[in-house]
Amino acid sequence: MGDYPSRSVNATAGDLGVTPRHAQGAGYGSSPSNHDEPPLGGGGALPKKARFSIEAGFRGLSTASGAMVLVIIVAIAVFLISKAVPALQANTGDFFTQFEWAPNEANPSFGIAALAFGTVLSSVIALIVAVPIALGIALFLSHYAPKRLATPLGFVIDLLAAVPSVVFGLWGRDVFQEPVRDFSIWLNKYFSWIPLFGGDGPFGQSIMLGGLVLAIMVLPIVTSLSREVFQQTPGMNEEAALALGATRWEMIRTAVLPYGKPGVIAAVMLGLGRALGETIALALTLSVAFDISFNLIENGGNSVAANIANSFAEANDTGRGALIASGLVLFAITLVVNMTARAIIYRRREFRDSAA
């Protein structure tokens, strides 16, 4: 096309008439074409690379932050193990099968099975109840509700996440317990042939109450993360589904849900993490029992975290060690859950990564 001006510093030769935008004539504007400094794009000899730069500083800082994670994890593990081992050695019962928690006696005897079972069962109930509702709310907010409604509603959901767990616990104990008890009695009356709803009572402070309170606590986390993920579905994929003759629900099934699946799994796992680790809400709503029972509605139930909260105050050295050992088991459970989730997400990664 035209003549490009030479790239030298004093490019006065550029023909302004032909290619004015490329011309870098001296005295044409200010700093970049000053005689003293070369223009930003270069000219003159290449400068040396700085040996100590902000760049290197940031690199060091972020590497240190990354290493910090490993240090913290190792420190926690060392602490837990060093406290737990003496108590486990003093245990006269079997840590995995004993249905009892008496670590403060002269002959300490305690087992994790009932606690671990209660933890997992209450969390599973929470997820079974919360996840479908949370996904429903998330889809409503992202794809059905008019914007004027979706924004404030999303805000309210986020607000629910900010309620401290002790408040949920008190509410569950003092308010929610009554309807749950009535519902349990009704279930027991008509469905006692299902082992889950059998028993002779008393009802109310049951694993079901604990699970339902947990469900309410898990709901906002799963909802807001899923909504975020659903909203990120590329509009052009939604349009592609609609243009193929999909109804709105079919469009969601074809484009939105598959696209959001890894995110939803991550959201559910975060919710599960909260449910597994939840302490005070369960300590307040369950009535302590040490057995493995699938009965959901009779008083009873316990969890690792709730047991730690309930027993820590009157524990002696061995007792504390035993509680720390139970904490270690909880840690192991969450680890397994998280790794499973990652494995699920990882399996389909080539489909996700190749998405434009």
Partner 1 sequence: MAKRIEASNVSSYYGAFKAIDSVSMTVEPKTITALIGPSGCGKSTFLRSINRMHEVLPNARIEGSLTIDDQNIYDPDVDVTAVRRMIGMVFQRPNPFPTMSIYENAVAGLKLNGVKKKSLLDEAAEKSLRSANLWDEVKDRLDRPGAGLSGGQQQRLCIARTIAVEPQVVLMDEPCSALDPISTLAIEDLMFKLKDRFTIIIVTHNMQQAARVSDKTGFFSIDKTGDPGRLIEYDDTQKIFSNPTQKKTEDYITGRFG
264 counts as binding partner 1 under rule CB under 8 A: no
Question: CA 224, 230, 234, 236 torsion: positive or negative?
Answer: negative
34 counts as binding partner 1 under rule CB under 8 A: no
261 counts as binding partner 1 under rule CB under 8 A: yes
- Among the listed ranges 41-49, 200-208, 243-251, 268-276, the one in contact with partner 1 (CB under 8 A) is 243-251
Pick the binder of partner 1 from 241, 297, 323, 329 (CB under 8 A). Answer: 241
**Residues 77-116 vs partner 1: string with x where CB under 8 A?**
----------------------------------------
Cα–Cα distance measured from residue 166 to residue 315, given in angstroms and rounded to the nearest whole number: 22
SS (H, E, C) 244-281: CCCCHHHHHHHHHHHHHHHHHHHHHHHHHHHHHHCCHH
**Residues 123-162 vs partner 1: string with x where CB under 8 A?**
------------------------x---------------
Tokens of 189: 């009356």
242 counts as binding partner 1 under rule CB under 8 A: yes
- Region at 94 (left for phi over 0; alpha for psi -120 to 50; beta for the rest): beta
Closest to partner 1 by CB, 158 or 228: 228
3-state DSSP percent of the chain in helix, strand and coil, to 5: 65, 0, 35
Question: CA 282, 127, 222, 182 torsion: positive or negative?
Answer: negative
Cα–Cα distance measured from residue 210 to residue 205, given in angstroms and rounded to the nearest whole number: 8
Pick the binder of partner 1 from 50, 243, 313, 343 (CB under 8 A). Answer: 243
- Polymer length in residues for the chain: 356
Closest to partner 1 by CB, 246 or 337: 246
Pick the binder of partner 1 from 153, 185, 246, 265 (CB under 8 A). Answer: 246
247 counts as binding partner 1 under rule CB under 8 A: yes
Name the helix (H) or strand (E) containing 354.
none
Q: How many helices (H) and strands (E) does the chain have?
A: 13, 2
Pick the binder of partner 1 from 240, 265, 309, 345 (CB under 8 A). Answer: 240
Closest to partner 1 by CB, 36 or 353: 353
Cα–Cα distance measured from residue 274 to residue 217, given in angstroms and rounded to the nearest whole number: 8
- The residue count for binding partner 1 (CB under 8 A) is 26
Question: CA 209, 210, 213, 219 torsion: positive or negative?
Answer: negative
State the nearest-atom distance from the C-beta of 354 to partner 1, in Å.
4
Tokens of 102: 């008496």
348 counts as binding partner 1 under rule CB under 8 A: yes
Please list every residue from 284 through 303 that binds partner 1, using CB under 8 A: none
65 within 8 A of 303, measured Cβ to Cβ = no
Partners of 102 in the beta sheet? 109
Closest to partner 1 by CB, 209 or 255: 255
Q: Are strands 109-110 and 101-102 parallel, antiparallel or unpaired?
A: antiparallel
344 counts as binding partner 1 under rule CB under 8 A: no
Pick the binder of partner 1 from 38, 43, 93, 258 (CB under 8 A). Answer: 258
**Residues 216-235 vs partner 1: string with x where CB under 8 A?**
------------------x-
* Residues of the shown chain interacting with partner 1 in the complex, contacts defined by CB under 8 A: 147, 234, 236-237, 239-247, 250, 254-255, 258-259, 261, 348, 350-352, 354-356
